[in-house]
Structure 1
């Protein structure tokens, strides 16, 4: 949960947000609803309609926020994705709800995959209209304000949100769709156990009873959060990291078939899937299997893409058009990007907890390219690195690895116990200088951020 906290159109008037009206309950006098796919039930998006009231204060807040964000970019202090929104929000505390009025907004949350899935959802929504997004990963309220104020006329938005901040969002307005990807241990010294995150997410969903939730049916922790919600679309793609889902989130009983049709005696069970990632593609609720071909690597991104297709379909996007659009996406805010660092092409991979390290190591072990691992333990990473002992570094046996970062020595000790040959470098620059051509670099959050800031397009 390490989103960065760092983002035009004219505004005539904005006022208190009302959110989307819940659907009218059907009665016996209503004609029967046609059995058609859900993406055909949504009409074309209307342009956002500004509400009235607070015009001067809102306009001043937006103007000040844009000026500060622009200065931040020009002075190369950051992307402006946080500071502009933070100033605007301080001047107009109700600005987020005002900016959300009239838009169809998808909020994406979960422990891993938020930034990539947010980019996929944004691309998917653009098959139907303009969509704005917090592409830099500024995933708290100020980042959301910064993203929404970049284009006041955009009818769609795809916004990444930190798990513990979703309840703050739904207290302000009800998104059209909430995407809930997965839950696993992450920065326990800052955030706490998964149950803490579950309680916060459950509060968020209770505050948005009319919001459609697109959720992971293979993660018992996610199912426990969503089980009582009225409108859930379930995604199935399988799960490789099971260590945080071996006990029922409701009663604590052991779950013996986590990678299958698990069911607990208390009644919590894996739901039937609406969208399923298959060996050949993506099986939809209409019974049709569509080809799922991506430039983004790994099975984990096939799952992320399934969430994007499902979320966009709920807002009227054609799944075939979405799949065509997202097929060419190669990176998201630097994730999976091939960049130029110290005169050599490097592929950057972000891994920040045991679950994400499992997926990134899977990508790295598919070839014999040089490998650099970088681990820091700064505030945005979490200071505790005991999770290194939960990562299956044994898959790297037989390779020589360079390690670096603030906690490079801790990582080297872990690799030695895993039987992996490694060398310690004082800096990332030294590590790159000592490795062969076109290495993979797997780094946790601040190490990844620092490398990306120094990089250039190859």
Structure 2
């Protein structure tokens, strides 16, 4: 820290102290409060801490925490990596991450979609990884077309190298203004937010993975990296089997993005893949916890696209507990529940809990899915027969469940 100005040194040290006290008193993991304290004392602390570091920023509606973890694991081949592993993805969390690992020359930071332009401007990151955009917290972030436009403005004229998912038209439009873009065909199963061209508003024609605007030149770019089933094909045509422990197609897409970023950073797939295979869970996601003979697997789903991916990894033979809140971090508006096709749960024992359990119960009733309404997660878990159970929860509901098990990671 000696290379930092004195004011920044003091701000960073006091921020770390605040974070430590937060952890010691059980108030949280300290990944936000430490950064807030530091930024009050030195408003430019993020820019100062980012100097002389090689950084990757990771942003998306879904999968950014997992992809950040995968990239950080791959870059560990090069030495220490500063990262916000627990998902504190706004500037205060970034300050905490860089301050806590003050000597790490490399950093991988998950960034909230809304804050990406500000964080890129502050950090001058060398790489930006953009994966997907879909409706999420509309009361806070507004229409996702506006987010894509902000991304497009942020990377235009920037020296950063963008790694982007070319299967998502909104991401493609947002990234295409950058001078340097590496395109990854990582897939896009949720298409309900991108049937219209973000450039001109015309209809998008889709055929298999390809897409093109019917009324302007915008179309899917030719990818350099391709997710192909259980493998990734690199720019040289070499096929790399993905042997990761994280389940589902979405995580194979996350791994494909991580491999592309790592390769540009200087870590080849043969060195990165073993690192990716070590990751079993991410900030509680996919963790198996046990209580009174029940083994519960925790899955996070914050929006319609996320629920689609969560359904992909659940076991149809198991009961499922669904928990939905609508606190500030979730977004107050639960109308998105009506965009999720819950009929896939028909035939399974379904238990509904969370602060907005009545909203979810009405949605299931209309979908014709039988369920049992529970007052809380503990009650739901107690009613489930001994054995395995899947748990799907949105953000604050997920964190509450994690807290009941000691914030399992």
TM-score (norm. length: structure 2) = 0.96
In 2, distance between residues paired with 1:342 and 1:130?
39
- Give runs of aligned pairs for residues 253-268 of structure 1, distance below 5 A: 253-257=202-206, 259-264=208-213, 265-268=215-218
The residue aligned with 1:165 is 115
CA contact (8 A) 2:296 2:391 kept: yes
In 2, distance between residues paired with 1:85 and 1:271?
39
Match of 1:283 among 233, 257, 275: 233
1:323 has 2:273 as partner: yes
Secondary structure of the structure 2 residue equivalent to 1:166: helix
The residue aligned with 2:348 is 399
Match of 2:357 among 408, 427, 430: 408
In 2, distance between residues paired with 1:336 and 1:209?
36
Secondary structure of the structure 2 residue equivalent to 1:139: coil
Give the drift of 1:152: 1.6
Runs of 4+ in 1 over 6 A off after TM superposition: none
Structure-2 change in CA distance of 1:258 and 1:455 (3 Å): farther
In 2, distance between residues paired with 1:68 and 1:259?
51
CA contact (8 A) 2:352 2:374 kept: yes
The residue aligned with 1:368 is 317
The residue aligned with 2:2 is 12
The residue aligned with 1:92 is 42
In 1, distance between residues paired with 2:291 and 2:393?
14
Deviations 1:345-375 (A, max 9, x none): 21100001000000101212x4312200001
How many aligned residue pairs are there?
406
1:355 has 2:345 as partner: no
In 2, distance between residues paired with 1:301 and 1:333?
14
Give the drift of 1:254: 1.0
Match of 1:114 among 61, 64, 75: 64
In 2, distance between residues paired with 1:177 and 1:422?
46
Secondary structure of the structure 1 residue equivalent to 2:338: helix
Q: Normalized per residue, which structure has more helix?
A: 2
Secondary structure of the structure 1 residue equivalent to 2:132: coil
Give the drift of 1:420: 1.1
The residue aligned with 1:305 is 255
TM-score (norm. length: structure 1) = 0.86
Deviations 1:392-430 (A, max 9, x none): 111111222000111111111111221211010011111
The residue aligned with 2:405 is 455
Bigger Cα Rg = 1
Structure-2 change in CA distance of 1:341 and 1:159 (3 Å): farther
In 1, distance between residues paired with 2:379 and 2:109?
37
The residue aligned with 2:221 is 271
CA contact (8 A) 1:350 1:444 kept: yes
CA contact (8 A) 1:400 1:420 kept: no
Structure-2 change in CA distance of 1:451 and 1:288 (3 Å): same
The residue aligned with 2:91 is 141
- Give runs of aligned pairs for residues 243-258 of structure 1, distance below 5 A: 243-257=192-206
